[in-house]
Structure 1
Amino acid sequence: MLLEVRHVTQYHYDASVRESVMELWMQPQKSGSQRLVSFELEVEPPAQLFSYADAFGNAVYHFDVPQPHERLTIVARSAVETAGQPDLPEALDRGEWDRLKSDFVRGECFDFLRPHGYAVETPALRAFIERHQIDELRHFDPLTAVRKLMGVIYDAFDYETGVTTADSPIDHALEEGRGVCQDFSHIMIAICRGWEIPARYVSGYLFTNRTEGDRSDPDATHAWIEVFLPSLRWVGLDPTNNVVTGERHVAVAVGRDYADVPPSQGVYKGEAESQLAVGVSVRRARTAIAEPEFMRMAQPTFNGGRRRASSAALIDQQRQQQQQQQQ
């Protein structure tokens, strides 16, 4: 499937700021299941772009706008050909649990076996595990167990934006019984790691199809998880929609949790309040759409939260990017 992704991020300031420095995790991955056909970034005011690969192999772009400005606009355009992952077997043998304990897996996946950031076990998570008898799933082979776990999370939570924020601990979603894909992914990652199954957070996009039962917001970024099973390598699972990832998923970056791979983060200098508007569109590739039309279709809205920055203040992307991560 050939997909076109447009991701527009606009920061508006109520007074001129002197400088902005940003990092971006927006370039789709190049892998066996997806081919990056094209990727381009536009920044206004204009800035020279630099890039590097982070510790997890993600493409990260960064730039500095050193002159005064009252608005910062970032437009990322991608064309990606996706194939999805090969059909999975119905089950694996229970010896897979022993293979997960090998020195190879523990060394290769060290970062994705430990609790980290938002993906940690809490008393609320332990109560959730006990209430739904989740640890009983370990009687199955690992592949069957994680599939059933995905179904439990899907059934246990309603998808609703605005209940949690991008920096909410998993307890918020656990207490409310509602949340977005970021919350469901962190919960599932924490449980899998507790089972000693390596699990990582995947940030990306989804070509939403309501006829397939998708709950995700079509005008937002998306997130899911990947688990490492020695017999299959990395397997993508989308607990928001209770599906194995396929050709409608576009992976951008992987990390231990959301904090490793926010779409953008940075700092600015100046005494100003900021507002954020975001528009995301994922569609089958076709004739390019003019930018004003795209912005109307994506219907970006300003983040309700306003924040006054001191000189060289950190833009709290884990909070402001919630508009972007209302998955």
Structure 2
Amino acid sequence: MKLSVLHRTTFQYLAPVTDSVNTLHLEPRLFPFQQTLSAVIRVLPATRLRRFTDLFQNITHHFEVSGAHPRLEIESRIKVYNLPLVIPDAVRQLTPAHYDDASTRERTWQFLQESRWVSKHPDVWKQAVDIIYGIPSVFGRTQAVMAWVHQEFRYDPGVTSYNTHVEEAFRLRAGVCQDFTHVMLGLCRTLGIPARYASGYLYNGPRDSLIGAQASHAWCEVYFPGPGWLGFDPTNNTLADERYVKVAVGRDYDDVSPVRGSYYGTGHCQMDVQVLVEKV
């Protein structure tokens, strides 16, 4: 499946601002099951973009606009080719014992730890133990965690913000895809299941049945010896298959935010985000 994504973020300031400094995660690198066909990023006012890879090997862009400007526009256009997701039966049968070798522990250690927005709160751990009771395989446990979050949490954009901690989202039992993902990360990590945050986009198709399409989306990825990282979307209770465009991965949202920046000037700013995902 070939997918194209247009992502445009516009900042309109009440008065001209200066010294705008920004970091972007808008261009995907090569992932298993996903190949980037093209990627173009445009910034107005025009400025030089510096391209590099971060700690998690995400393609990252950095730019600065020092002069006065009343408006900032960041636009990315990408095209990817996704292969169908195939999960061997043997992977579905893996147990925690298969994670004991040194190479797996080294590869996944940081995704078992607490991070800025995800902690191992005792209440989260207690709930996680109840969810997986009687399920021996890691794949089965992960599916059970995903299904529990999807069933127990209400999708409500009005109750949380970008800096909502997992403990607050867990208490509210509501939020958006970022919160659903953070909760699933916390549940998995307390169980010793390596889990990381994935950000990108979701193609809804003609059925219009999935939550999070035509906007930036987030889901959880769990590591399995053999195939590596596989995506689980608690917002929609489905595997992250060829309908998903993965851009960046990290410990939580703080590592992968599409646009992060600061500027000097007025605090009155109107932000508008447009996302269009199409099959080509």
Aligned partners of 2:159, 2:244: CA distance in 1, in Å?
24
The one of 191, 198, 217 aligned to 1:195: 191
SS in 2 for 1:18: strand
Contact between 2:93 and 2:139, CA under 8 Å: does it hold in 1?
no
Query: How big is each residue's C-alpha offset from its partner over 1:108-147, in whole Å with a ceiling of 9 and x where there is no partner?
Result: 11211111111212254246446xx22415x321111111
Query: How big is each residue's C-alpha offset from its partner over 1:261-292, in whole Å with a ceiling of 9 and x where there is no partner?
Result: 1001112122442221111110112xxxxxxx
Q: Residue in 2 aligned with 1:112? A: 111
RMSD: 1.9
Pair 1:74 & 2:70 matched: no
Pair 1:226 & 2:212 matched: no
Q: Pick closer, same or farther for the CA change 1:272–1:165 going to 2, 3 Å.
A: closer
Q: Letter of the 1:3 partner, please give it.
A: L
Task: Kindly state the Cα deviation for residue 209 of structure 1 after the two structures are TM-superposed.
Answer: 4.0
What are the equivalent positions in structure 2 for 1:201-280 lying under 5 Å apart?
A: 201-209=197-205, 211=207, 213-216=209-212, 218-280=213-275
SS in 1 for 2:28: coil
Aligned partners of 1:47, 1:14: CA distance in 2, in Å?
22
Segments of 4+ moved more than 4 angstroms: none
User: Which segment is superposed worse, 227-236 or 198-207?
Assistant: 227-236
Gaps of 5+ in 2: none
Contact between 1:28 and 1:251, CA under 8 Å: does it hold in 2?
yes
Aligned partners of 1:219, 1:229: CA distance in 2, in Å?
29
SS in 1 for 2:106: helix
Q: Residue in 2 aligned with 1:168? A: 164
What are the equivalent positions in structure 2 for 1:45-56 lying under 5 Å apart?
A: 45-56=45-56
Q: Residue in 1 aligned with 2:36? A: 36
Larger relative contact order (C-alpha < 8 A, sep ≥ 6)?
2
Pair 1:63 & 2:63 matched: yes
Contact between 1:181 and 1:222, CA under 8 Å: does it hold in 2?
yes
Task: Kindly state the Cα deviation for residue 86 of structure 1 after the two structures are TM-superposed.
Answer: 1.5
Among all aligned residue pairs of Structure 1 and Structure 2, give the percentage whose two residues are the same amino acid.
34
Task: Kindly state the Cα deviation for residue 210 of structure 1 after the two structures are TM-superposed.
Answer: 7.1
Aligned partners of 2:171, 2:224: CA distance in 1, in Å?
31
Pair 1:186 & 2:179 matched: no
Q: Pick closer, same or farther for the CA change 1:126–1:31 going to 2, 3 Å.
A: closer
Contact between 1:100 and 1:196, CA under 8 Å: does it hold in 2?
no
Q: Residue in 2 aligned with 1:142? A: 138
Task: Kindly state the Cα deviation for residue 200 of structure 1 after the two structures are TM-superposed.
Answer: 0.5
Q: Report the TM-score when normalising by structure 1.
A: 0.80
Aligned partners of 1:102, 1:207: CA distance in 2, in Å?
37
Number of residue pairs matched by the alignment: 280
Aligned partners of 1:235, 1:212: CA distance in 2, in Å?
24
Aligned partners of 2:40, 2:181: CA distance in 1, in Å?
28
SS in 2 for 1:192: helix
Aligned partners of 1:90, 1:177: CA distance in 2, in Å?
34
Q: Report the TM-score when normalising by structure 2.
A: 0.93
SS in 1 for 2:118: coil
SS in 2 for 1:143: helix
Aligned partners of 1:265, 1:188: CA distance in 2, in Å?
24
Gaps of 5+ in 1: 286-327
Question: Of Structure 1 and Structure 2, which has the larger fraction of its residues in strand?
Answer: 2
Q: Residue in 1 aligned with 2:150? A: 154
